[in-house]
Structure 1
Amino acid sequence: MITLRGDYYKYFYRVALSMGVSAVLLAILIQGSLSSISLSFLPKLLAVIAAVPFSCVALYIAASIFRTSLRAYRYRVIVAASETHVPSFFHFFLVTASRNMFVDMLPARLGELSYVAMLNRGYAVAAPTCFSSLIISFVFDLIALTLLIVCLILVQMLGTGNFLWLVPILCLLCAVLICFYMFFLPALRLITDRLGQYVFFKKGIGQKCNLFAKKIVVALEEAKKAAIGWRLLILSIGIRVGKYVALYALFVGVAVSFPMVQNDPAAAVIALISAEAGASLPLPVFMGFGAYEAGGTLAMVALGATKSVSLVMMLALHIVSQIVDYIFGGIALVVFFLTATSIAVADSVLENRFFKRAALVAAIVLATGLLLLVPQLRKVKKLGAIRPPDTGQIVERENDEPVAEVLDRTHGFIVWSSNRNGNHDIYKYSFQDKQIIQLTSHAHTEYFPRISPGGEKIVFARSNVPWVSQRNHYAWDVYVLNLVDGVESLLARNGTFPTWSQDGQAVYFLREGYKVVELDIASGHETVVLQTGENSVLPETVRLETPSVKPHDELVALTLRGSERAVVTMGPDGKLTKLGQGCQLSWSPTGDYLYKIDHGGKQQNAIFFIDSVTLDIKKWFDSPSSYSHEYFPKVSNDGDVLVFGASKGGHEHDSADYEIFLWVIGTPWESVQRITHHTGNDCWPDVYIAQ
């Protein structure tokens, strides 16, 4: 009998092992998904995934449960033909759901081996029987697929569809089935009989391998004698129908973002079959990423879709289906570990000693899984939200709010980005009439407005698709808006964080996260001022944010992300001057000092002043009010006023409730003026004071 201590180790072993394996698989899923997507392409893909209706996902889940149940029942029917000990349908269901996950993960269907391992080690089914059931299932899958392709060809023939390229696939499937029926089983029996005559196969490992192969032959022959062919064929057709009904449901959901794509069921199934065939190729890729999209995209292009649309659709469909399958399979795997009855050897033999060692192994697996998973979760978090934040609502101005003197004695305005009308657009607040007006109303996201030296124009970044998180610095274009006549125009593709040169004749911006580019507005000529891994001492693994070029000098202030984490100033001679942690490092209008955001404030963040000569750093502003998580600082063109955003603790740049504040530099912190009163997101302000 197992002692209480032994039961404890046994329980810990199974729970820790299941959690560890699940963490490893989830980390692999995230890594495989992110590594197959370029960051410039990511916002478009996320927009498509976010738009998939829940009803389509629910139908996919229901159809997946249906086909998994049929596949589990088919396995059980085959195993029962040659085994006296047959696990319950529930156990087969757990093994099958986990097998579906592993098959998607590993190339060339190597994940099928998980079915053998789980059924044999978990539920004591003989290994030859496991292999024979796999072989038989594979053959009937091919038969069902052949019948499905015949139906597709007939449907396409009755219409005007392109079906000729399906004929070679049909011929290949028929040839494989004929060869298996006529040659595989007789040849396998003959080979095992002949091998037994050779010395190598009469003892040792050779004999064991030959005996194992003979047992597989016997299991195949017993299944053949059981006369279960028609049952298996009906189940296999049901499995195929369930599979493509599920995938077509997701296809329809993904196609919602592409009204020009026709939801032709036959054409869609052809593309899905091609994608599945591509993922099954013996290529060294995880979860079929790349091969799946290539197969499906080629099929859709052949059927008339554009390459770009096809790629987005197939990748979105692949990712959503993987997420559902991994969650489903992961849950089944955890339940399997907790319910398996014969892992390794009998409990009565193992007792405490085995489970002590097993618990240690399980703890190592769990720790490894967490070490792999945590960095992947951080990557996901850094991608930002896939949906825009709530628009919020107007709030009442507080009666005791101070009024900054600058608002009464100067003319000028503030611009910033806000989602108060449903999308991030550019807004303007005038000191003279104290009114907020909307400057842009584009369907895509806009942020980081910067006012020209003369105050007559602004540059800003606009996303390539309706919603892009500000954490993504790749899917933006640079625009200029003339505040006099309201005319806007495109300045540069693939750029963000735009700023003006001192004379207003050029614009600097960040491209691809590692290039600081200068654009001459008149000629349109671009010059790379700084590029990591090229004309700087920064390694190419470093990513940049908020470049700020010193007036009259190409001395760039940067925030570094990636292998480095610091705010720095980069000299034209390649000199790198680090200025500690923090972010949003900027030069003053005259270049006499720098300022940045860093920790050390009332609500973590505060604004810090940096002497450009001594590099001494001191706290410059930290609001004493409840809005004391400062961000987005920007000094006015005359150097007298600081505008910034602040929240009550929320951090995310484009979703937290930041309000816009104005502070006359040098006055008491308590005199800061609140400009906006709205629970939506207000961010990245700039201020201009008329001379």
Structure 2
Amino acid sequence: MNLRKLTSLAVALAVTGGLFYFLARTTTWEDWIAIFGGLDARCLFGFLALYLASMALRAARYRLLLRASSAVSPPGMKDLLLVTFASNLFVDLLPARSGSLAYIVFLNRKLKVELSSCVSSFAYSFVFDIFGMLPLFGLAIWLHARQTGDSGLALYGLLAVLAVAGVAALVMLERLLNWGAAVAGRRAARLGGRQRAFLQKAAAEALAMAADVTRVRQSGVFWRLLGVSVAIRLGKYVGLYVLIMGFAGQFGQAVVDALGFPLVLFALLAAEATASLPVSGIAGFGAYEGVMGATLLAAGLAQAQAAMIPFALHLTTQAIDYCLGGLALAWLGLKKRD
């Protein structure tokens, strides 16, 4: 293990260790028994229903993209659901959302889908995740501005930056793939042996990916993709809000009133963005709780409440992700590969 990896691991351990040290100083075992024991079962089941619906919509979006691509035989919904749950497990485990690349591996290796179609469907899903978040983010800014009287100009500016980034990714993806193919082709012409063969294959794959990206873009599925992506994000964040209310309700009506949807949405978006950084803690535990806890503390919650609610939320959602992802991974492991 090189120095860079050791440093990243040490920082991740420090972030997670700092979280547990803070929790140990501000809470007791009785507090944790009480918060999980006091979770409203209706909110838990409501979250599960929205979570499963969101995952089904993700699988449906993958199927829509694969049908629009050059995939010879797109997998059915059952197999795509398995891939969605299994890849979601690796997103939780690995830093900087690198685990989402597991989708490409499972789809290509286990379900025998062409690599170009795997990459194009993954890339479009990533871009439309950004687009799907924009309407909800805009709504949250507007609601927050109405409640506080703040103009929200800085937040609207951030919204515009995200929109431009999404459009740029959509426009530049095909060009980047064609450019990569050209570079690999030129280098292959100057080399020989295995390096030449590898670069020639890489150039051919990049060209196939670019062609697939173009095919999907010209297929006329943009508005359907956008609608499904908004529904995915809506189901996810409403589900998390319901689960937070299930934990917060036991602390009294004042705490529930302090946690309005715009505030919680901002806290979730900020926590997820921080957890997507290269170093955010072991399995994401650390930065996520720190950012959300700071937001809840600023909203007027007591220190113990602001510390426990984010951790309880994260632990519950991770446990569900690991259980369902592990089952999906085991099922995929039983499938034979050509």
Deviations 1:156-188 (A, max 9, x none): 223226645533431331231232234333243
Question: d(CA) in 2 for partners of 1:49 and 1:321?
Answer: 13
Q: Please give the residue correspondences for 1:148-547 in structure 2 after superposition, counting only pairs within 5 Å.
A: 148-160=136-148, 163=152, 166-198=155-187, 199=189, 203-259=196-252, 260-261=254-255, 262=257, 263-283=259-279, 285-338=281-334, 340-341=335-336, 343=337, 345=338
Give the structure 1 partner of residue 94 of structure 2: 106
Q: Structure 2 counterpart of 1:196, which letter?
A: G
Deviations 1:347-375 (A, max 9, x none): xxxxxxxxxxxxxxxxxxxxxxxxxxxxx
Question: d(CA) in 2 for partners of 1:176 and 1:201?
Answer: 37
Q: Structure 2 counterpart of 1:184, which letter?
A: L
Deviation at 1:200, TM superposition (A): 5.0
Give the structure 1 partner of residue 3 of structure 2: none
Question: d(CA) in 1 for partners of 2:191 and 2:206?
Answer: 12
Give the structure 1 partner of residue 123 of structure 2: 135
Gaps of 5+ in 1: 1-31, 346-691
Deviation at 1:303, TM superposition (A): 4.2
Contact 2:185 2:199 in 1 (8 A): no
Deviation at 1:35, TM superposition (A): 9.1
With normalisation by structure 1, the TM-score equals: 0.43
- Whose strand fraction is larger, Structure 1's or Structure 2's? 1
Question: d(CA) in 2 for partners of 1:273 and 1:297?
Answer: 13
Q: Structure 1 counterpart of 2:20, which letter?
A: I
- 2:20 pairs, out of 37, 40, 53, with 37
Q: Structure 1 counterpart of 2:160, which letter?
A: C
CA RMSD, Structure 1 to Structure 2 (Å): 2.4
- Cα 1:182–1:48 change in 2 (3 A) is same
Deviation at 1:298, TM superposition (A): 3.2
Deviations 1:523-563 (A, max 9, x none): xxxxxxxxxxxxxxxxxxxxxxxxxxxxxxxxxxxxxxxxx
Question: d(CA) in 1 for partners of 2:191 and 2:138?
Answer: 44
Contact 1:143 1:177 in 2 (8 A): yes
Deviations 1:185-216 (A, max 9, x none): 32432342354233357823222222222222
Give the structure 1 partner of residue 77 of structure 2: 89
- Cα 1:166–1:297 change in 2 (3 A) is farther
Work out the percentage of aligned pairs sharing the same amino acid: 31
Question: d(CA) in 1 for partners of 2:79 and 2:191?
Answer: 36
Contact 1:33 1:319 in 2 (8 A): no
Deviations 1:25-59 (A, max 9, x none): xxxxxxx9999534453523343222111111111
Q: Are residues 1:61 and 2:48 paired?
A: yes
Deviation at 1:105, TM superposition (A): 1.5
Contact 1:102 1:114 in 2 (8 A): yes
Contact 1:51 1:257 in 2 (8 A): yes
- 2:58 pairs, out of 46, 71, 78, with 71
Q: Structure 2 counterpart of 1:183, which letter?
A: M
Deviation at 1:287, TM superposition (A): 2.2
Give the structure 2 partner of residue 477 of structure 1: none
With normalisation by structure 2, the TM-score equals: 0.84
Q: Structure 1 counterpart of 2:62, which letter?
A: Y
SS at match of 2:326: helix
Deviations 1:226-254 (A, max 9, x none): 11111111110110011012101111011
Deviation at 1:128, TM superposition (A): 2.2
- Whose helix fraction is larger, Structure 1's or Structure 2's? 2
Q: Structure 2 counterpart of 1:197, which letter?
A: R
Greater gyration radius: 1
SS at match of 1:257: helix
Question: d(CA) in 2 for partners of 1:187 and 1:323?
Answer: 38
Q: Structure 2 counterpart of 1:123, which letter?
A: L
Contact 2:116 2:209 in 1 (8 A): yes
Question: d(CA) in 1 for partners of 2:28 and 2:17?
Answer: 9
Question: d(CA) in 2 for partners of 1:311 and 1:164?
Answer: 30
Question: d(CA) in 1 for partners of 2:75 and 2:104?
Answer: 13
Contact 1:106 1:285 in 2 (8 A): no
Contact 2:67 2:74 in 1 (8 A): yes
Aligned residues: 311
Q: Please give the residue correspondences for 1:563-582 in structure 2 after superposition, counting only pairs within 5 Å.
A: none
SS at match of 1:85: coil
Q: Structure 1 counterpart of 2:284, which letter?
A: G
Question: d(CA) in 2 for partners of 1:307 and 1:91?
Answer: 44
Q: Please give the residue correspondences for 1:628-667 in structure 2 after superposition, counting only pairs within 5 Å.
A: none
Contact 2:116 2:208 in 1 (8 A): yes
Q: Structure 2 counterpart of 1:216, which letter?
A: M
Question: d(CA) in 2 for partners of 1:179 and 1:62?
Answer: 34
Question: d(CA) in 2 for partners of 1:250 and 1:174?
Answer: 29
Question: d(CA) in 1 for partners of 2:261 and 2:191?
Answer: 53
SS at match of 2:113: coil
Q: Structure 2 counterpart of 1:110, which letter?
A: S
Contact 2:96 2:278 in 1 (8 A): yes
| Bigger relative contact order (CA 8 A; separation at least 6) | 2
Deviations 1:275-302 (A, max 9, x none): 1111111116332111211222233344
